[in-house]
């Protein structure tokens, strides 16, 4: 992504968040408003409004029972997110579809500017988006405490701050229609609060964050770029002796950071899948050690290489009859089929 002047990027972010707030206000004030307000969910809903929900899979008029289900879903969210949310939890509580989009579509998330603990990130937009990029705001709730504390270096405090609870906001439609309500009632919303229940898009209140936020959270949790940015910010706050700081990335820096990120994709994993990945790697290792692979000729000729590359993607052609008794025993031990064993050996 070409990074324009930082000030124009920031202007774009402000404009997006402002126009969203104005649209929301107009929608609420309209006599034909379809927003399901807090009081409606509480039980004051007038069924004459004939609002609909997709709860249960089809779009149909809202009933009293639905309101009760909505209240239950709200309770669940508020119970889960008691005490704020950390970057790791955002990744853990996200939906697989959003993680997949973050992995495959979002190639950069660069911190652009910060005022105290509120840091603005710019990300690229997905391939189907009308927007050129998206803006994600992250409020680090322990910034003040980290900046005021003289117990450690700015870098160590920055590393601590990024692992503490935070709030966030994104200017994309997915966040607006699916997740902003959840972040509002879960108390981790860093922007305009949303009090209208997502009765059509997300009545089950599943997930927490869009692909842009997920990519940003992966950076917050693990990247040296974010650590460096927060270190500078905290260093400034410590120098000023008032735990307040403003910091902006220069255009040159932002371009360099975007380029750096573009070179390698960041995997977006939950704690569970990370553990599963470790387990799978362990199993693969055990299998490849136990199974004696068919010896490969030392020098592959051009034609054998070609044959190998042609044969590889054809899963159906995997020959499981050549499994050794050791391999079959391993397959049994790991509850796998001979095909799965062959696929692992071939991988
Ligand atoms: Zn987003």
Return averaged pLDDT per consecutive 10 residues of the chain, 347 residues in all. 69 91 91 90 90 93 94 90 86 94 94 94 92 95 89 93 96 96 95 95 94 96 92 89 80 85 78 73 61 45 47 44 59 57 50
Q: Where are the domains of the chain?
A: 6-263, 271-346
Provide the CA 177 distance to its chain's centre, in angstroms: 16
Distance of CA 212 from the midpoint of ligand 1 (Å) = 4
DSSP summary character for residue 151: S
Distance of CA 173 from the midpoint of ligand 1 (Å) = 7
Exposed/middle/buried for 118, CB within 10 Å: 0-12, 13-18, 19+? middle
Distance of CA 132 from the midpoint of ligand 1 (Å) = 12
Write down the pLDDT at residue 288: 52
Cβ contact 115:100 at 8 Å: no
Distance of CA 172 from the midpoint of ligand 1 (Å) = 4
Write down the pLDDT at residue 250: 85
| Per-residue tokens: 288 | 């490849």
Closest by CA to 102, choosing from 218, 212, 263, is 212
Write down the pLDDT at residue 72: 93
Distance of CA 123 from the midpoint of ligand 1 (Å) = 9
Write down the pLDDT at residue 287: 55
Closest by CA to 171, choosing from 24, 11, 18, 5, is 18
Distance of CA 176 from the midpoint of ligand 1 (Å) = 8
Distance of CA 255 from the midpoint of ligand 1 (Å) = 21
Distance of CA 87 from the midpoint of ligand 1 (Å) = 15
Annotate 217-242 with DSSP letters as a single string.
HHHHHH-HHHHHHHHHHHHHHHHHTS
Rounded to the nearest 5°, which phi and psi values hold at 58? -120, 155
Distance of CA 236 from the midpoint of ligand 1 (Å) = 29
Write down the pLDDT at residue 300: 46
The Cα 184–Cα 36 span in angstroms is: 15
For 130, other C-beta atoms within 10 Å of its C-beta total: 6
Question: How many residues are given for the chain?
Answer: 347
Return the SS3 of 334. Answer: coil
Write down the pLDDT at residue 179: 96
Q: List beta partners, residue 110.
A: 122
pTM: 0.75
The Cα 298–Cα 39 span in angstroms is: 74
Exposed/middle/buried for 236, CB within 10 Å: 0-12, 13-18, 19+? middle
Cβ contact 123:306 at 8 Å: no
Distance of CA 83 from the midpoint of ligand 1 (Å) = 23
């Amino acid at each position: 992504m070409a990074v324009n002047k930082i000030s124009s990027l920031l202007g774009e972010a402000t404009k997006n968040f402002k126009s969203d707030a104005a649209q929301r206000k107009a929608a609420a004030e309209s006599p034909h408003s379809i927003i399901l307000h807090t009081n409606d969910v509480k039980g004051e809903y007038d069924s004459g409004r004939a609002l609909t929900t997709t709860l249960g899979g089809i779009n149909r008029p809202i009933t009293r029972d639905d309101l009760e289900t909505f209240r239950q879903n709200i309770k669940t969210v508020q119970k889960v997110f008691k005490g704020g949310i950390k970057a790791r939890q955002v990744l853990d509580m996200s939906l697989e579809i959003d993680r997949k989009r973050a992995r495959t579509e979002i190639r950069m998330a660069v911190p652009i500017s910060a005022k105290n603990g509120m840091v603005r990130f710019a990300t690229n937009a997905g391939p189907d988006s009308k927007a050129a990029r998206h803006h994600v705001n992250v409020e680090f709730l322990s910034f003040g405490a980290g900046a005021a504390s003289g117990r450690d270096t700015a870098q160590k405090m920055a590393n601590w701050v990024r692992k503490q609870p935070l709030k966030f906001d994104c200017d994309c439609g997915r966040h607006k229609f699916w997740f902003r309500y959840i972040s509002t009632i879960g108390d981790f919303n860093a922007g305009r609060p949303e009090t209208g229940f997502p009765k059509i898009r997300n009545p089950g209140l599943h997930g927490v964050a869009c692909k842009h936020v997920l990519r940003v959270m992966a950076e917050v949790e693990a990247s040296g770029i974010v650590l460096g940015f927060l270190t500078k910010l905290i260093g400034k706050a410590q120098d000023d002796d008032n735990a307040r700081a403003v910091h902006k990335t220069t255009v040159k820096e932002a371009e360099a950071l975007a380029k750096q990120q573009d070179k390698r994709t960041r995997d977006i994993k939950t704690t569970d899948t990370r553990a599963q990945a470790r387990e799978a790697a362990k199993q693969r290792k055990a299998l490849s050690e136990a199974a004696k692979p068919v010896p490969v000729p030392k020098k592959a000729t051009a034609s054998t290489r070609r044959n190998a590359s042609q044969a590889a993607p054809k899963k159906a052609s995997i020959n499981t009859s050549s499994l050794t008794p050791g391999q079959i025993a391993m397959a049994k031990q790991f509850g796998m089929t001979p095909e799965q064993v062959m696929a692992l050996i071939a991988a």
